[in-house]
């Protein structure tokens, strides 16, 4: 079976972590009956430099014609002074909209081997953490009407019932395969859009009588994630709240360099990328952690390519690599020796082959 993968390496450490991930995929799919055909495209700052825009038409078209998109990271200091409509990050927004990807699924897993890297006291994370943040991707402030005057500006947070309903469905279905617990995060005491959100989520929950649904204001949710994170299983929330809370969840699991993500829609086509950014300050030094991208590729195999078996083999190899003591700089303690980006990937490949 052949599958077409659009590969967007992007900027900063993006090309480094993508290169190592493709090597891992090569070994993971060997003798599996699955052939991955890669086509490389430009997006982000490198596309601005080369094509004059963050998302060239050929990149969007290539992504739309593929079975999945594997992305590194976009952005960097070099493009920070550009007008808002020309920033590299617009490539992500336009890809999500152009591919119809409305649900961002971010697992936040604290591996037992990385417990010492978690900033919380051990009693709060005993036996690890396993949280999934499901973030709505195509509505809210990021896509609402916005305008700026000489001394004023506004952004509009707008949601429709169908937008809330479909993301709530994703959360409920995800929870059915886990602990059957969903926390919906909003600001319904202040925001009208959040009152709509809460109302629709309650309606959807009636279709899932086995699910325990609770609601939490976003400020309380941010506090509770560090006060007692084990209370959470599946968190569902709107675009901006999800952006913030998923990064918080990433850090309590030890390092943002460990967290993968999937952006999904109503079809099998999805976009898979690490939660971390382009980290231009360490680009080219060979010290970036490739595990978030490798784990994103595992999510791609599971959700878009229907190869849960290969996804599990990659995830197991990552766990064994950590168990063996392999640590990139971001997850190494002060007295631990760190390995390079390539060495970490080699360790994962070694366990895949074993």
**Domain limits for position 2:** 1-102+266-354
Q: How many domains does the chain have?
A: 2
Marked catalytic residue, from 155, 247, 306, 316:
247
Each residue of 73-85: pLDDT tens digit? 999 999 988 888 8
> What b/e sequence results for 49-58 when a residue is b if at least 16 CB atoms lie within 10 Å of its CB, and e otherwise?
eeeebbbbee
Q: Of all residues in the chain, what percent carry a pLDDT higher than 70?
A: 100
Same domain, 247 and 123: yes
| Within a domain: 258 | no
Q: Which residue has better confidence, 143 or 4?
A: 4
One domain, residues 246 and 273: no
Give the pLDDT confidence of 225-249 residue by residue, as tens digits.
999 999 999 999 999 999 999 989 8
In tens, the pLDDT along 5-54 reads: 999 999 999 999 999 999 999 999 999 999 999 999 999 999 999 999 99
Residues 131 and 235 in one domain: yes
Residue 112 located in a structural domain: no
> d(Cα 287, Cα 277) in Å, to the nearest integer?
14
Residue at which a domain ends, from 252, 274, 308: 252
**What is the DSSP secondary structure assignment for residue 276, as one 8-state letter?**
S
CATH number of the domain that residue 341 is part of: 3.40.718.10
Q: Which of 81-90, 194-203, 204-213 has the least mean pLDDT?
A: 81-90
Q: Which of 227, 252, 277 is the last residue of a domain?
A: 252
219 catalytically annotated: yes
Higher pLDDT, 332 or 191: 191
Residue 128 has pLDDT above 90, yes or no: no
Angle at 217 between CA 214 and CA 222, to 5 degrees: 105
Mean pLDDT of 117-123: 84
Q: Indicate if 212 and 132 belong to the same structural domain.
A: yes
Which candidate in 41, 111, 142, 208 is catalytic? 142
**Which of 97-117 are b and which e, b meaning 16 or more Cβ less than 10 Å from the residue's Cβ?**
eebebbbbbbbbbbbebbbeb
Question: Where do the DSSP E strands lie in the chain?
Answer: 2-10, 35-41, 68-73, 103-110, 129-136, 146-148, 153-155, 181-186, 212-217, 234-237, 260-264, 270-274
Annotated catalytic residue within 67, 111, 187, 329: 187
The answer to whether residues 66 and 24 belong to one domain is: yes
pTM listed for this prediction: 0.90
Is 208 a residue of the active site? no
Distance between CA atoms of 200 and 343, rounded to whole angstroms?
48
Helix (H, G, I), strand (E, B) or coil at 144: coil
């Amino acid at each position: 079976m052949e599958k077409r993968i659009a590969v967007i390496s992007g900027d900063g450490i993006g090309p480094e972590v993508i290169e190592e991930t493709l090597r891992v995929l090569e070994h993971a799919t060997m003798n599996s009956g699955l052939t991955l055909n890669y086509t490389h495209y430009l997006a982000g700052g490198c596309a601005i430099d080369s094509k004059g825009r963050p998302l060239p038409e050929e990149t969007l078209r290539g992504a739309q014609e593929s079975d999945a998109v594997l992305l590194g990271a976009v952005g960097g200091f070099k493009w920070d002074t550009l007008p808002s409509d020309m920033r590299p990050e617009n490539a992500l927004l336009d890809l999500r909209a152009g591919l119809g990807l409305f649900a961002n699924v971010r697992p936040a897993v604290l591996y037992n081997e990385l417990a010492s890297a978690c900033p919380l006291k051990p009693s709060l994370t005993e036996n690890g953490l396993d949280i999934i943040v499901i973030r709505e991707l195509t509505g809210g402030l990021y896509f609402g009407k916005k305008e700026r005057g000489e001394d004023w500006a506004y952004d509009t947070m707008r949601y429709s019932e169908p937008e809330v309903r479909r993301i709530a469905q994703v959360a409920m279905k995800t929870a059915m395969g886990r602990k059957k617990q969903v926390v919906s995060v909003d600001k319904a005491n202040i925001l009208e859009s959040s009152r709509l959100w809460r109302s629709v989520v309650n309606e959807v929950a009636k279709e899932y009588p086995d699910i325990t649904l609770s609601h939490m204001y976003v400020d309380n949710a941010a506090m509770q994630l560090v006060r007692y994170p084990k209370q959470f299983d599946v968190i569902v929330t709107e675009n901006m709240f999800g952006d913030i809370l998923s990064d918080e969840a990433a850090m309590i699991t030890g390092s943002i360099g460990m967290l993968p993500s999937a952006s999904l829609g109503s079809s099998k086509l999805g976009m898979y990328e690490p939660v971390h950014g382009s980290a231009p300050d360490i680009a080219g030094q060979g010290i970036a952690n490739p595990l978030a991208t490798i784990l994103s590729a595992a999510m791609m195999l599971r959700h878009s390519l229907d190869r849960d078996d290969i996804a599990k083999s990659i995830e197991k190899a990552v766990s064994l690599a950590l168990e063996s003591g392999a640590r990139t700089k971001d997850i190494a303690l002060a007295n631990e020796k760190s390995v390079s980006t390539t060495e970490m990937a080699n360790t994962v490949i070694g366990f895949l082959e074993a």
